[in-house]
A and B are shown apart, each in its own frame.
Chain A
């Protein structure tokens, strides 16, 4: 006689909401918004129109008369751009359970500040001193966010992660899929070599030199090597690190990420590094997507492309793999035997940054669309579809730069002792040096010719 007891082991079902995630997760909304804009661009083109009418690029100006003329001629498209983004982001806010009225009011103010920053950075005087929009937006945001208390309604519109993910999905539409296939393996190898070395430097410095707990050192290690805060929270949960340790890891990532924006931008300009290798270096050595986009945007499209290839394809995709491997190591070798879970391979998909699906989909879509048209058609697609998508992307990134500055409040981060700071900083310095060696010395020609 035997009795069937096989209905167990369907564990881990609570956190997964299945198809519901498609409308409840910020990552998926970045995919929907990005693909909607790309498909709208294609649809407009096929009906003989262009989404250029929805975008606004402020030209270089040197006197107020020129500026006034430019603003009046772009007023209609600026309003259309605002309305388009307001509708798309407000729908997203509703599904993410953010108060839509407050969000809309906050986004309106964010858009107005973004326009002001674009006007300033298009000024001939500002360009003369390399005061590009990303750095200006970040600096203004940091000063305002740390000195002036911001209202809740405005804060609800400061969605750094949403804006940067929408921008990255749109960036996919401007990168031919053939280029991703061609450069992807090199990006993966470069990112993996440096991520693994950086992880072990932080881990061993933390555990051997500075006496940190293994779980803490591992959480710090992935935060400094794989993908900043996203990796720290993924691995922190998977290996059951202490809450205070995850919190300190996040604080260190945020401080280093903001510092690295200024440091890398300064070093790249000082050393006169070309855009392609510069983007690859930023992609290798920045700690967060939004911070990396801010730094890379100062060096143009070429830098953004190589940054994205390294950061998104080489690093972000593998958050889940790192979480799974470290969970296995933690349970097998470090576990205190009190907690009862197994390393779960489904972690790899659960932690996968879903907006990357939108990035690939947008790239494939545009690559097929371009390939299906004649040479003359491709030139028109470039100006009527791809150029406006780049404009949408630029604005999404401007919202990102401002949001980073306005939400990074140093006094609200968790304080930490010198030991975790020393362990993390050891890895960060090694990472920046290795990033320079591989991107600028070893693979300069590859990234420059991309």
Chain B
């Protein structure tokens, strides 16, 4: 048996949502709660939301740069509310540590790890 022989492949999936609920300012509420009420537009809240969105998109862009700095082989899927990065070429610990070194933590992204048996494994 060899130490460098691995019996499994690891797939890392990182999801960067544009509007993570955990990072949302408390003053921004869902329309679902008030959608039937007629109210005067709150321009202050709109501006605050604009700043939040701008900041969040900056964060997403920065996290993508960091992830590409540790691995340039990502499969990227863009959705209307998120960007999904997948790779089998990077151990997830390296990605997590690289993001943590730049101040990004659990609330900033979603991480999924999948293992698959290699060919021939019982």
Binding site for B on A (CB under 8 A): 1-15, 155, 158, 160, 228-229, 232-234, 236-237, 240, 242-244, 246-247, 250-251, 253-254, 257-258, 288, 290-291, 337-341, 404, 407-416
Q: Which residues of B contact A (CB under 8 A)?
A: 1-3, 5-8, 10-11, 13, 15, 17-21, 24, 28-34, 39-43, 45-46, 49, 77, 79-82, 84, 86, 91-93, 96-97, 99-100, 105-117, 119-122
* A407 vs B84: C-alpha distance when bound (angstroms): 35
Q: Using Cβ atoms and an 8 Å threshold, which residues of chain B touch A8?
A: 17-21, 81-82
Least CB distance from B4 to A in Å reads 8
Question: How far is it, in angstroms, between the C-alpha of A409 and the C-alpha of B13 when the chains are bound?
Answer: 31
- Is chain B's interface secondary structure helix, strand, loop, or mixed overall? mixed
- Tell whether A338 pairs with B116 under 8 Å between CB atoms, given A1-B39, A10-B81: no
- Nearest chain B CB to A241 CB, angstrom units: 8
Partner of A4, one of B1, B5, B31, B113: B31
Contact between A246 and B115, CB atoms less than 8 A apart: yes
Which residue of the partner chain B has the closest CB to A2? B29
Q: Which 5 A-B pairs have the closest CB atoms?
A: A1-B42, A340-B106, A407-B120, A4-B31, A233-B115
Assess the A415–B30 pair: CB atoms within 8 A: no
Complex interface: chain A residues within 8 A of B120 (CB): 155, 158, 160, 407-409, 412
Residues from chain A with a CB closer than 8 A to the CB of B18 are 8
- CB-based nearest B residue for A252: B7
Do A411 and B1 touch (CB < 8 A)? yes
Q: Given the complex of chains A and B, what is the CA–CA distance between A142 and B24 in angstroms?
A: 58
CB of B3 to closest CB in A, whole Å: 5
Cross-chain contact B5 with A414 (CB below 8 angstroms)? yes
Closest residue of chain A to B105, judged by CB? A338
Question: Contact at A4–B32, with CB atoms within 8 Å?
Answer: yes
Taking a contact as CB atoms closer than 8 A, the residue among B29, B33, B91, B121 that contacts A250 in the complex is B121
**Cβ–Cβ < 8 Å partners of A290 in chain B:** 122
Contact B15 A11 (CB under 8 A): yes
Q: Which residue of B lies closest to A337 (CB)?
A: B106
- Among B6, B7, B45, B77, chain A packs the most CB atoms within 10 A around the CB of B7
B40 nearest CB neighbor, chain A only? A1
Given A8-B19, A240-B111, A258-B122, A415 contacting B116 (CB threshold 8 A): no
A5 and B106 form a contact (CB under 8 A)? no
**Can you offer 30 A-B residue contacts whose CB atoms are under 8 A?**
A1-B39, A1-B40, A2-B30, A2-B42, A3-B29, A8-B19, A8-B82, A10-B81, A11-B110, A13-B84, A14-B13, A14-B86, A233-B8, A236-B8, A236-B113, A236-B115, A247-B5, A247-B7, A247-B8, A250-B8, A251-B7, A254-B121, A257-B122, A338-B100, A338-B106, A407-B121, A409-B120, A411-B2, A412-B2, A413-B1
